Structure 1
Amino acid sequence: MDYVGEITAIKAQKNNQGRCSIFLDGEFFIGVDAELIYKFNLEKGHKLSEDLLDHIIDQEDFIKAKEAAFKLLSYRQRSRREIEDRLAKKGFDFGVIEGVLKVLDRLNYIDDRKFARAWIRDRITKGFGPWRIKGDLRNKGVAKKIIEEELASEYDFGLEYDLALKYAKKKEGRYLGLDDIERRYKLSGVLKRKGFSFEVINNVLDDLLKN
């Protein structure tokens, strides 16, 4: 078995009591989460093998990835895909990310259906149309079936019409100097970018511009 060196000291880090510094042969070698000192029974005088070091580094990455995931979830709910992508961007490998997702599953911290429902309700309060919401959720990796079911339970034609009409009234003042065709074209673009359907847009503009 190949050895990296002998552990000559293990010290708690001054600026972070949750981490420890490991010294090999009198020199600082690596900083790790304090939990790993106990998990791997690391003590002064033990020889650190390359295999054990690999396990420690893997577990260190897992702990860091788990903490990063918890931090993401502390701000708001996330989709599974969103957490996976964010951890990948931080440089964690596939195996570590999968391990973290399993932990989050056991704790019921990720649920794409609950995430979609909360996202839809939040975006409704901000006046977004269903097509914009659907696109956002697709980009976050939520399954099409879940998106459609949750949208159907939270959004109907009447609500979409009311939100679109309110938004159109808010924006129509900037186009009062234009002729009817140009006004309709401009307001249609505004409502489309907000995520409303063509059917609702046409109904709203028919009613708003009929006078």
Structure 2
Amino acid sequence: MSQSREESATDPVNPADVRYAAMNLLARREHSQRELIDKLGRRFPDRDLVAHEIARLADENLQSDTRFAESFVRQRISRGYGPLRLRQEMGQRGISESALETALSAVDADWFSLAEQVYEKKFGAVAPRDLAEKAKRARFMSYRGFVRDHFGHLIEGD
């Protein structure tokens, strides 16, 4: 006979169940500790137990914020995102500044070249018609996470 939702919410959580659920998530892709705690926290009511099990996985090197950061940076760069956007998204995922710096230095991206590729893919070789069009293009590039130094020459046509 199955238990009702109310009964199962009061049952103690088995640490093995938390670990199994975390391992299933990690088998699909790398996750940061914060992501795992947030995802598993929705399923398991004991957040302290969830955090403890995630810390155990990190101690066993089955979960690594550094590996997650490197994977995330490579993926986002391949999608045309710049350094500011990467910093923002990594912060939302609980990645430390040092792990982010390590991941960025491992990738060694050429932000100017990437900005040019993103710009040309979106806007082509056609010069902006007017000031409003320049502003639109600048907003797009900023949204993508590039600083004006990376793309300003593309908009101005220098």
User: Would the TM-score normalized by the shorter structure come out above 0.5?
Assistant: yes
- State percent identity of aligned pairs: 23
Q: Give the counterpart of 1:165 among 116, 126, 133.
A: 116
1:93-137 deviations in Å (ceiling 9; x for gaps): 133213312431243111111211111111111111111111111
CA-CA distance at 1:171 after TM superposition: 1.8
Secondary structure of the residue that 1:191 maps to in structure 2? helix
Bigger Cα Rg: 1
Hey, what does 2:37 align to over in structure 1?
84
Hey, what does 1:184 align to over in structure 2?
134
- TM-score, normalised via structure 1 length: 0.63
Distance 1:94 1:61, change over 3 A: same
Separation (CA, whole Å) in 1 of partners of 2:16 and 2:105: 39
The count of aligned residue pairs is: 151
Letter paired with 2:80: G
Q: Give the counterpart of 1:145 among 98, 121, 128.
A: 98
Distance 1:155 1:204, change over 3 A: farther
Distance 1:179 1:111, change over 3 A: same
CA-CA distance at 1:61 after TM superposition: 2.9
Structure with more of its chain in helix, by fraction: 2
Structure 1 stretches lacking a partner, 5+ long: 1-27, 31-56
Q: How does 1:122-141 map to 2 (within 5 A)?
A: 122-141=75-94
Hey, what does 1:109 align to over in structure 2?
62
- TM-score, normalised via structure 2 length: 0.81
Structure with more of its chain in strand, by fraction: 1
Q: Give the counterpart of 2:26 among 67, 73, 96.
A: 73
Highest relative contact order (Cα 8 Å, sep 6+), 1 or 2? Answer: 2
CA-CA distance at 1:198 after TM superposition: 2.1
Q: Is the contact between residue 35 and residue 93 of structure 2 (CA under 8 Å) also seen in structure 1? A: yes
